[in-house]
A and B are shown apart, each in its own frame.
Chain A
Amino acid sequence: MLLLKKETQNLIKMKIEFTESQNQFRSEIRDWFSKNVPSKPLASFDTKEGFEEHREWEKTLNQGNWSMVTWPTEYGGRALNLIEWLIFEEEYYRANAPARVNQNGVFLLGPTLMEYGTDDQKSKFLSAMAEGDHIWSQGWSEPNAGSDMAAIRATAVRNNDTFIINGQKTWSSRAAFADWTFGLFRSDPESERHRGLSFILVPLDQKGVTVRPIPQLDGEPGFAEIYFDNVEVDASCMIGDEGQGWEIAMATAGFERGLMLRSPARFQETASRLLKLYFDNQDVLSPSIASRVTHCWMQAEAYALNIYQCASKVMAGDKIGSESSLSKVYWSNLDHEMHQIAMDILGISSELKNEYLNNAASWIKGYMFSYSGPIYAGTNEIQKNIISERLLGMPRK
């Protein structure tokens, strides 16, 4: 008995290669980047000057219609599918284009608005976001609500057509120079945990808002504390319904967007630069360095293949949920290991902040940043709880 006859074989078989049109799309992007990426690197977007330079870059991207490429065309995007998005990102990193100062907006809030926002909210916020007029920061964590986000205590009390907001947010990325923040606030004072939270947008220049920048390990204020002292916000700034905040926040943190923030291209480019650093210095290095460098390059490629596999699943209609916790732990450990090896190779120049030989200064900055990977977007310990409980089905208690 033959279980499978040749002629019944499915047409959509696994095919691990790009199509002609995908390759063509790649050349189109490469061409545009070669003409538009600033020749001189911009100042860090965690400085006032650099922030504005990056805002200009957002505008340049938007003029070329390369800003919100995954957004539907009705909102001015290119409606790229996930595979095309990965190609776009590969070219982005290949061109060494400036980092996205508005990624909180374009990748997180934008899609959330499209799903939960009203028409008025969409027309008010989406185009300003795309044009770089509104740069967004995130307002999730509080001093006593970190990994345990449901412990949020900042309040938003409804008063007719406004909310009065009080409390404190912290670790708010980009808030030092951003125009707006989005976050979760307790709109039902009697509520506990995940219930009674609302998703509200707040302009940072509003009366009663105090932003206190927090210098990070590199000395620059990459995040900030935000204090709300009777801040009056129009009720039209609430996304979704009162009490629906948790659900919306979870969707914001959902997989597709998670994927978009951590393109494999970023790690593959680091791995390639690391290999180059190794080969430039190999005469004075020990064999273990060659071995570690090789491992990292393989891991970066394994990560890329996995993301292409996840993208294929999503495009076939599968939902990806807790699986993104597997990648979070993987890329954050990989990023740290790659930078650690670079520091080992740099040796005596690994402490020189302004050394351009071997790109030392840039490796040092990346090295410091790699320490944040296992913490932000949910610590790796929380991710491992999610993996074991939701993917492996181990008991919560």
Chain B
Amino acid sequence: MNFNFSDDQALFSESLQKYLSDNVTTKSIREFWTDNSHFLSSRWKELEELGFITANIDESNGGMSLDLITIALLVEKIGYSGMPEPIAEQLFLANPLINEFSSQINHNEYLAVAHDLAPHPNFLEDSKQLIFFQDQNPYLIDIEKLKIRSLESNDPSRSIYDFEANNLDDATKLESKKNLYEQVQNYGMVMSSALLLGLSKRIIDSAKLYTCDREQFGKPIGSFQAVKHMLADVAIEIEFTNALVYRAASSIQKNCSNATMHAAQAKFQSIKACEIASKNGLQAHGAMGYTWEMDLHIFIRKGWSYKGIWGSRPFVENLVFNNLKKDLPKLGATYTFMDNND
């Protein structure tokens, strides 16, 4: 039992963090907002050259076969940066499918994925193909064969679409022994949890800086207990999200029978953390927090989207509740790390 990141896991994610803080500035995000139909292919290329895009592609196909815990750590950093490019989607949704169908899909190109939990694929126009589910069965289709319509997300960093296949015969049904519908659902829940965790950390950091700087009544507003305790409440919820997210990533990696349950728990708590971070974080910025000019909403908006997609609160709560009902005899402290496969 060891909950620490290895040196390599930490080093790898720090190097991504360094890249992101140097390159993904809030200015560059706002520039993207003025024309948000395509992401920066130059940035995608750079991240590909640094090895991040294919980090969990099988080694036999030129990737590094990295484990999902490391990938979740990368996605947390991506969340913190607010980067519009769909690297999180590529790592968590596309790459596992690319590994499974490596002969049918290109290894290092962006691949859009649609699912009932997130039916409007992000940056669909930047992908050559789409994987979608019809009656929970997976299909692969070329974008040209789709009728697509751009939708406006409340988060201008997301470029989302409605799509319709003219004819299901244009798509290839993907055959697998696994339940890919459930797999993508679980990966999606953990991906969005890791993003929300990173976003929450960014929001509290911003609030902390602002309240130490902004003065009223002759001193920083961060010295007032009402403000301190508001942010302490945020810090508490964030603290109790970390381990849930990495336990969920580990359970998926190990193919644990409780993976869905663990992913749902991670999502539930990360929604809670991001919600209180957004509410109290914005409150700590006062009226400035409610302006378009302040960068804070770049992160809050992203949170709004990922709270709803890849497992909304009622969806994940139902998953957990139904599992508890089913497993009532197997509850309690001695079952935390139990795998029903054992």
Contacts and interface: CB of A to CB of B under 8 A. Distances in A.
A86 to B, nearest CB: 9
B217 interface: no
Contact of B208 (A18, A327, A394): A394
A357 interface: no
B287 interface: no
Contact of B239 (A264, A290, A326, A383): A326
A241 B49 CA distance: 61
Contacts of B228: 384-385, 388-389, 392, 394
Given A93-B333, A397-B219, A14 B246 contact: yes
Contact of B2 (A1, A14, A388): A14
Given A4-B11, A389-B228, A394-B211, A265 B333 contact: yes
A388 B232 contact: yes
A305 B229 CA distance: 24
Question: Binding site of B, secondary structure by majority: helix, strand, loop or mixed?
Answer: helix
A275 interface: yes
B7 interface: yes
Contacts of A389: 228
B212 A4 contact: no
B3 A14 contact: yes
Given A268-B333, A309-B242, A381 B265 contact: no
A10 interface: yes
Interface string B197-208: 000000010001
B308 to A, nearest CB: 18
**Contact residue range for chain B?**
35 or more
Contacts of A4: 8, 11-12, 51, 64, 66
A299 B51 CA distance: 37
B15 interface: yes
13 contacts: A1-B49, A11-B6, A14-B9, A14-B250, A15-B250, A17-B254, A19-B1, A93-B333, A290-B321, A312-B1, A312-B3, A394-B220, A395-B222
Question: What 10 A-B pairs are tightest by C-beta distance, nearest first?
Answer: A10-B6, A388-B228, A305-B243, A312-B3, A265-B333, A268-B333, A384-B232, A387-B232, A309-B3, A272-B331
Interface of B: 1-9, 11-12, 15, 49-51, 59, 64-67, 69, 204, 208, 211-212, 219-220, 222-223, 225, 227-229, 231-233, 235-236, 239-244, 246-247, 250-251, 254, 265, 268-269, 317, 320-321, 324-325, 328, 331-334, 336-337, 339
